[in-house]
Structure 1
Amino acid sequence: MPVDLYREADRYILTADLPGVDPESVDIDVDGQLLTIRAQRTAPHTEGAKWLVQERPAGTYLRQFSIGEGVDSANIFASYDNGVLSLVIPVSEKAKPRKFHVLSQHSPQE
C-alpha cells in the first residue's frame, strides 16, 4: 500500500492507495503511539475459469506508523474515495508550537 504523509499547519495528512478494496474491510487502529492501517482485497470468485494472467494481488494489506505523543488520536478523521484512503491526523494542543513573551524587569535606581 503506497502512502504519502505530510504535515500541513496543525495536522498531518496521510493518503494511501487502496484500489479495489472494499471500504468496509479497512481497519484503522491507534494503540499508544502506533497507527495501524489494515485492508483486505478479495479475489473475484470465478468458478470454472482458467486464469491466463492474474497480476492484481488479493489479500491483506498492513502498514504501521509511529505517530509519537504529539497527535490528537481521538479526533483522527478517515475517508475513502476512488480507491484512496485519506486520514487527517490533528496535532494535539500540547504539541503545537508556542511563543512566549519576555518581560523586562528593571530595578529602581537608588
Structure 2
Amino acid sequence: MAREGDFFRMILGFRSYSLGSHVHWVPLMDVYEFVDKFVILVELPGVDKEDIDITLKDGFLKISGVRKEMYNENRVRIHQMEMSYGYFERIIDVGNVDERNIKADYKDGILVITIFKG
C-alpha cells in the first residue's frame, strides 16, 4: 500500500505548495538541495518564534504559523495596509530524509531549516 505522501507526489507533481482556504498569506521561500541535505530559507518578518510550527512527516515538511496584526483595535483608522497577517502555511516535498535529523534557526525574520537525507 502506498504512503499518503506518495499519493500527493503523484497527483500534485510539484515540490512546494500551500493548501486550504484558511491560509491568509504565503511567505517567500528558497529551497536548496545538496548531496546530503536540504536547506530551506523562509522569510517570516514580524512573526514571533513561538508562533512558528515545523513538522516533518512522510517526506513532507510543513511550515505554518501566524503573523499577528500590530494594531487590531477597532478604533484604529487604517490609511494604507499592504502587509498580510494571519495564518500561513507552506508544504515542501523533501522525499526520503532522516526525520530525526532536522535543525532550525530563526534570526532577523529568516527561518533556516536544514534536513539531512536518509
Pick the TM interval, shorter chain.
0.7 to 0.9
List 4+ stretches of structure 1 deviating above 6 A: none
Identity of aligned residues (%): 31
How many residues are matched?
91
3-state SS in 1 of match to 2:78: coil
Distance 1:30 1:46, change over 3 A: closer
1:34 matched residue in structure 2: 60
Deviation, 1:91, is: 1.3
1:27-66 → structure 2 map (5 Å cutoff): 27-47=53-73, 48-66=75-93
- Cα distance change of structure 1 residues 38 and 46 upon mapping to structure 2, 3 Å threshold: closer
When you count strand as a share of all residues, which structure comes out higher? 2
Q: Distance in 1 between matches of 2:60 and 2:34?
A: 20
Gaps spanning 5+ residues in structure 2: where? 1-26
Contact 2:63–2:90 (CA under 8 A) maintained in structure 1:
yes
Greater Cα radius of gyration, structure 1 or 2: 1
Which amino acid in 2 is paired with 1:4?
Answer: D
Residues 49-103 of structure 1 show CA distances to partners (whole Å, capped at 9, x for unaligned) of 211111111111100011212x1111100010100000011112xxxxxxxxxxx
User: Could you tell me which residue of structure 2 aligns to residue 4 of structure 1?
Assistant: 30
Q: TM-score, normalised by structure 2?
A: 0.72
C-alpha distance in structure 1 between counterparts of 2:37 and 2:57, whole Å: 19
In structure 1, list runs of 5 or more residues that go unmatched. 93-110
The one-letter code of the counterpart of 1:12 is: F
CA RMSD of aligned residues (A): 1.2
CA drift at 1:46: 5.0
Aligned letter for 2:84? P
Q: 1:71-86 alignment to 2 at 5 Å?
A: 71-86=97-112
| Residue 45 (structure 1) shift | 3.0
Q: 1:3 to 1:46 in 2, by over 3 A?
A: closer
